[in-house]
A = this chain, B = another copy of it.
Amino acid sequence: MARKKEVSAEQTQRTIIATAERLFMSHGYRAISTRRIAEECGITQPALYHHFPNKQAIYLEVVRTIMVQTERAMTDVLQDYANSRERIQRIAYFMIMNHQGDMTQMFHDLQYEIDEEHRQTIQDWWMRSYFNPVMQTLTEGIAKGDVMSLPSAPPMELSFFVLEMMKSFLPPSKQDYEARREFAEKKSTMLVDILFDGIRKK
C-alpha cells in the first residue's frame, strides 16, 4: 500500500465522479474532454487513467452513482407516502432538486455514445430506479381507484410520459438551495395539478 496522507485515492475518485457528473450532465459526453475533467479536478489528464480504464468508464460510473442515489430516494418516497398524487409529486420534487441539466442529454449519450453491452445494463438500472417506482405508483393508484385508466394511455406508456414530464422541469443548471427548493415545490405542484386534473374547464 501507499500514500494515505494528503488526499486518498478514494477522495480523488469521488472528486473525479462529482466533477464529471457536473460537466457531462450539462454539456454531454462528447463535449467534455478528459483534459477538461482533469483540469477541474486539479490533476493531469493521464492521472484519470490511473483510476479509470477509459473515458466511458468514468461516464458509466457517473450514471451508476446517479441511479443508485435515485433508487434509494424512490424507495423512501413509496414508503413514506401512500397517496398516488403525493407520491408522484414527491418523485418529481426529488428529480428537480437532485438532477441538473436535462437528463435527455444523458439518454442521448447512452444511446449514441455508449457501447451496446453497457447500454443494456444501464437500461436495467434505469427501469429499477426510475421507471418501476412510477409504474408501481400508477398501477396501485388504478387498483385503489385513485387513478383513472385512460384507453389512450395504458399504465406503461403513461409511466414513460410522467417521467418525461418530470424531465422537462429540470432546471438548466444548479442554483443555490433555497431558489431550487422553491422552484421544485412550484413545478412539482404544477405537474400533479395538470396530470391529475387536466386543464379543461368543467
The answer to whether A196 has its CB under 8 Å from any CB of chain B is yes
Question: A5-34 toward B: CB 8 Å interface, digit per residue (1/0)?
Answer: 000000000000000000000111011000
Which of chain A's residues 89-145 have a Cβ closer than 8 Å to chain B? Answer: 102, 104-105, 108, 111-113, 138, 145
Known contacts A31-B30, A102-B108; is-contact A161 B148 (Cβ 8 Å): no
Alpha-carbon distance A152/B189, docked complex (angstroms): 7
User: Whose C-beta in chain B lies nearest to the C-beta of A160?
Assistant: B168
Q: How far apart are A165's CB and chain B's nearest CB, in angstroms?
A: 7
User: Whose C-beta in chain B lies nearest to the C-beta of A154?
Assistant: B190
Size class of A's contact patch? 35 or more
Which of chain A's residues 69-87 have a Cβ closer than 8 Å to chain B? Answer: 85
The answer to whether A61 has its CB under 8 Å from any CB of chain B is no
The answer to whether A147 has its CB under 8 Å from any CB of chain B is yes
Q: How far apart are A57's CB and chain B's nearest CB, in angstroms?
A: 20
Alpha-carbon distance A152/B104, docked complex (angstroms): 25
Q: How far apart are A27's CB and chain B's nearest CB, in angstroms?
A: 6
Alpha-carbon distance A51/B201, docked complex (angstroms): 53
Known contacts A112-B31, A165-B164, A168-B164; is-contact A150 B104 (Cβ 8 Å): no
**A residues within 8 Å of B by Cβ?**
26-28, 30-31, 85, 102, 104-105, 108, 111-113, 138, 145-148, 150, 152-153, 157-158, 161, 164-165, 167-168, 172, 186, 189-190, 193-202
